[in-house]
């Protein structure tokens, strides 16, 4: 790993207790704002203050290709990854639209696109030109995995220096639902079939092929369930970068709004590496990908939204971000019964 994250220890729960008690002094029936109150308590816990702030948010989109795309597991050709990176750079993707809406700093990081990316503003942190085809060999070496984790750490450090108080992590990479399904199946030692979805829109016959490719690869690679070995064997460079970013965010006590299936699998790997990472994670939405519900359950996570989305890019997390702002405003700005002269 790029650094020793074992020193990240569970956060003190004092602020959770104080925040919960303070919420009950505000001018509302106790618990009447439901999960918004839970969200406020979580943000107080993460940021270690009763007046949390999440503005300005930072969005980081990690882009990488997957060698397993050679097996015909995606509805789109691999060239789309680089094309979409150019679209991100030009501000034309869904995540760009949502980033403007929430006034977020957005950064696009090439951690492993197979072709040269010639787009202004894209951070060149390419570890290699896509992973190897894990149907035939390990996706990456241990050294390459370390590099990809460090790319995520570096992105968090840039966002923190820019003043970001909350992070949204997104991804782009043709065949990354294949890698994510393989990683999830290995981490949880679960059958592959129920975890695999259509991704970008596979028809049923090709979905069966996708499942077959993953099943055979897991037998051939035999990664076990240790997260670093699983990521190296069947993971993706963008998955590793997101995991590294979550580890670094836990070290800095930065809230991370987790997007859909792929980001949640990266979160599961990060939490398996360092359990206290779970404390900084806020889960934004439930994806239409079938494996997402399983990954959320493994993390004891209940997402804020359910919109049947499966785009990735950090799009669902950006849509959920205004709820974090509302939770912060509620606990910071509402009057108490005593101050307002209202009978409790």
Residue listed under structure tokens 């809406």: 101
As averages over each run of 10 residues, the pLDDT of the chain (344 residues) reads 74 94 97 98 97 98 98 90 96 98 98 93 97 98 98 98 98 96 98 84 78 97 97 98 98 97 98 97 95 97 95 97 98 95 88
Residue partners of 338: CB distance under 8 A and separation at least 6: 25
- According to the model, what pLDDT value does residue 6 have? 75
Cβ atoms of 274 and 302 closer than 8 Å: no
How much is the pLDDT for 185? 98
Q: What is the pLDDT of residue 344?
A: 82
86: number of Cβ within 10 Å? 16
What's the confidence (pLDDT) of residue 203? 66
* Domain range list for the chain: 12-52+329-340, 57-323
First-to-last C-alpha distance (Å) of the chain:
53
Catalytic residue among 37, 251, 279, 313: 313
For residue 13, the model assigns a pLDDT of 92
71 counts as catalytic: no
Provide CATH code, domain 12-52+329-340: 1.10.1610.10
Torsion of CA 185, 309, 84, 119, to 10 degrees: -100
Structure tokens at 119: 């787009």
3-state SS class at 60: strand
Distance CA 194, CA 288 (A): 13
List strand residue ranges (DSSP E) for 153-280, in order.
Answer: 166-172, 256-258
Tokens read off for 318: 């950006």
Tally Cβ neighbours within 10 Å of residue 293. Answer: 17
For residue 202, the model assigns a pLDDT of 67
Q: What are phi and psi of 90, to 5 degrees?
A: -85, -5
Say whether 57-323 and 12-52+329-340 share the same fold: no
pLDDT of residue 200: 61
- Indicate the helix (H) or strand (E) that contains 113: none
* 57-323: CATH topology: Rossmann fold (3.40.50)
């Amino acid at each position: 790993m790029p650094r020793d994250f074992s020193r990240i220890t569970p956060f003190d729960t004092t602020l959770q207790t104080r925040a919960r008690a303070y919420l009950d002094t505000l001018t509302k029936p106790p618990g009447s704002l439901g999960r918004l109150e839970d969200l406020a308590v979580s943000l107080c816990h993460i940021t270690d203050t009763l007046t949390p702030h999440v503005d300005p948010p930072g969005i980081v989109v990690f882009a990488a290709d997957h060698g397993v795309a050679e097996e015909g597991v995606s509805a789109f050709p691999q060239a789309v990854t680089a094309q979409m990176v150019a679209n991100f750079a030009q501000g034309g993707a869904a995540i760009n639209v949502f980033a403007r809406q929430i006034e977020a700093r957005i950064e696009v990081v090439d951690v492993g696109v197979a072709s040269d990316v010639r787009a202004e503003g894209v951070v060149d942190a390419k570890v290699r030109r896509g992973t190897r085809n894990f149907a035939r060999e390990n996706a990456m070496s241990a050294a390459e995995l370390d590099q990809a984790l460090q790319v995520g750490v570096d992105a968090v450090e840039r966002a923190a220096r820019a003043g970001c108080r909350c992070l949204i992590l997104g991804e782009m990479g043709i065949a990354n639902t294949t890698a994510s399904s393989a990683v999830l199946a290995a981490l949880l030692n679960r059958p592959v079939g129920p975890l695999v979805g259509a991704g970008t829109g596979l028809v049923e016959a090709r979905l069966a092929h996708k499942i077959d490719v993953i099943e055979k690869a897991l037998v051939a690679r035999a990664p076990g369930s240790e997260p670093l070995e699983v990521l190296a064997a069947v993971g993706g460079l963008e998955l590793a970068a997101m995991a590294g970013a979550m580890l670094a965010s836990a070290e800095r006590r930065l809230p991370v709004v987790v997007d859909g299936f792929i980001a949640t699998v990266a979160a599961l790997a990060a939490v398996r590496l360092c359990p206290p990472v779970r404390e900084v994670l806020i889960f934004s939405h439930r994806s239409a990908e079938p494996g997402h519900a399983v990954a959320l359950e493994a993390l004891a996570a209940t997402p804020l939204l359910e919109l049947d989305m499966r785009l990735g890019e950090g799009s669902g997390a950006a849509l959920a971000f205004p709820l974090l702002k509302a939770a912060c405003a509620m606990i910071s700005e509402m009057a108490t019964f005593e101050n307002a002269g209202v009978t409790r």
